[in-house]
Amino acid sequence: MIVRRVFSAVLVGGLVLGLSMIGRAQVDSSRIDEVIKKSVLTPQDLEVIDAFAADAIGRLVRTVDFTEVARTRASIVGHQSAQAQYAQRFSDACLREIAKGFDYATHEISDPQRRFRVFANLLILVNELNDPRLIDLGIRMISHEASMVRYWAVRVATSASLWEKLSQDQVAAATMSRKVLDACNQAAPTSSPEVLNLMVQFAGRFDTPVTVELLGRIADIRIRSYAEWNVKYELVDTNILKLLGAKIVAGSASNEQLARQFAQLYSYAIQRYIRGMQNNAVRGLSRNYLAAVLIETEEQSLSKLLGGTQTGVRRALEAGDMTALQAEHDRLLGGAAGRGALPSKFNFNYGNNRTSPLALPEPQPGKTIVEPALPVESAEPAEPAQP
């Protein structure tokens, strides 16, 4: 829960998606307000739905004053209905107009920052509409180079509430999940921690070779980031390690590989914490994130992987005893004295018959890691209460 709150704040803080209550001209909804009350719709009523969607989504795309965007989105979402005729026509109209909006932004808006914000706003609208027919719009944008656009694209494509609806058709859901996972696999190497967090949560819902490939790829990306001392928001590794551990416990076909990746990632997190405490190279939120990763992984994953309650990491952290933490690292993962409990149980080594994890390289001289303060969440647009 903490992870999701943090990442929502980080991403949304970068968007100009205001919630100002300044009074301005809004979409005229008087006609559709009458239509939405009806139990049977006429052809003229259906045309009103089309006109409303075209007007509202057109305004959302073309406005320069982004203080109105959130209210326009809220108006669109607020005019959904369960009445069959209405719901079908409203869905058709939104799909058509949102697609037009993406096309307009792509070809008519020259300022890249404004174009990216329009993309993000359209994707937020798709996310709020919660219509399975719109999921393809998210998948198409997963490869986008702008981090905030990619975040919302992955969020749309992996929305739990949307997938609850989509899963009513198992064949369609299987096809769509493969498209999402393939897109995520392609985009993962250049994705931010916030996006990787969404990807790994989605992969955790399935048990296929593609999901194992994605989890493994994300673990390798994070391992490399630790080794290069440019890892950000270590808190995401709690989810990665938890899902890797769950796959290992479930007896995945790639158990040995997953166990090795789990152990190396957890080892780097421990080594980074020890190094940061010893030379003060890691401070602020980064140190707190690491402590959370170490403790939660011990409680949620190691106890299940090894059987029985594991408390050595927590005790060492609470005591501030880095010698004890290193000893627990070696007992669990391996060290100079030989294989650790995890490699022994799951019969893996760290490559070239190594019995201990790779040592974390030295950071660049004078490099201090201090995570920036997180943006205030007051600019966050209205969203389903997921955190």
Q: Which tokens belong to 269?
A: 């997190």
The tens-digit pLDDT sequence of the chain (387 residues) is 555 554 444 444 444 333 333 233 455 689 999 999 999 999 999 999 999 999 999 999 988 776 789 899 999 999 999 999 999 999 999 999 999 999 999 999 999 999 999 999 999 999 999 999 999 999 999 999 999 999 999 999 999 999 999 888 989 999 999 999 999 999 999 999 999 999 999 998 888 888 889 999 999 999 999 999 999 999 999 999 999 999 999 886 678 999 999 999 999 999 999 999 988 878 788 899 999 999 999 999 999 999 989 999 999 999 999 999 999 999 999 998 889 999 999 999 998 889 999 999 988 765 555 554 433 222 233 333 332
- Please classify residue 1 by burial: count the beta carbons closer than 10 Å to its beta carbon, then call 0-12 exposed, 13-18 middle and 19+ buried: exposed
CA distance 271 to 314: 15
- Using one digit for the tens of pLDDT, what is the confidence trace for 283-303? 788 899 999 999 999 999 999
φ/ψ of residue 283, rounded to 5: -135, 175
Residues 264 and 357 sit within 8 Å (Cβ to Cβ): yes
CA distance 241 to 230: 19
- Using one digit for the tens of pLDDT, what is the confidence trace for 105-132? 999 999 999 999 999 999 999 999 999 9
Instruction: Give the model's pLDDT for residue 337.
Output: 85
Per-residue 3-state assignment (H helix, E strand, C coil) for the chain: CHHHHHHHHHHHCCCCCCCCCCCCCCCCCHHHHHHCCCCCCCHHHHHHHHHHHHHHHHHHHHCCCHHHHHHHHHHHHHCCCCCHHHHHHHHHHHHHHHHHHHHHHHHHCCCHHHHHHHHHHHHHHHHHHCCHHHHHHHHHCCCCCCHHHHHHHHHHHCCHHHHHHHCCCHHHHHHHHHHHHHHHHHHHHHCCHHHHHHHHHHHCCCCCHHHHHHHHHHHHHHHHHHHCCCCCCCCHHHHHHHHHHHHHHCCCCCHHHHHHHHHHHHHHHHHHHHHHHHHCCEECHHHHHHHHHHHHHHHHHHHHHHCCCCCHHHHHHHHCCHHHHHHHHHHHHEECCEECHHHHHHCCCCCCCCCCCCCCCCCCCCCCEECCCCCCHHHCCCCCCCC
Instruction: Give the model's pLDDT for residue 370.
Output: 53
pTM of the model: 0.83
Pairing of strands 334-335, 338-339: antiparallel
Q: Any idea what the Cα angle at residue 360 is, between residues 354 and 363, rounded to 5°?
A: 155
For tokens 């479930």, name the residue: 250
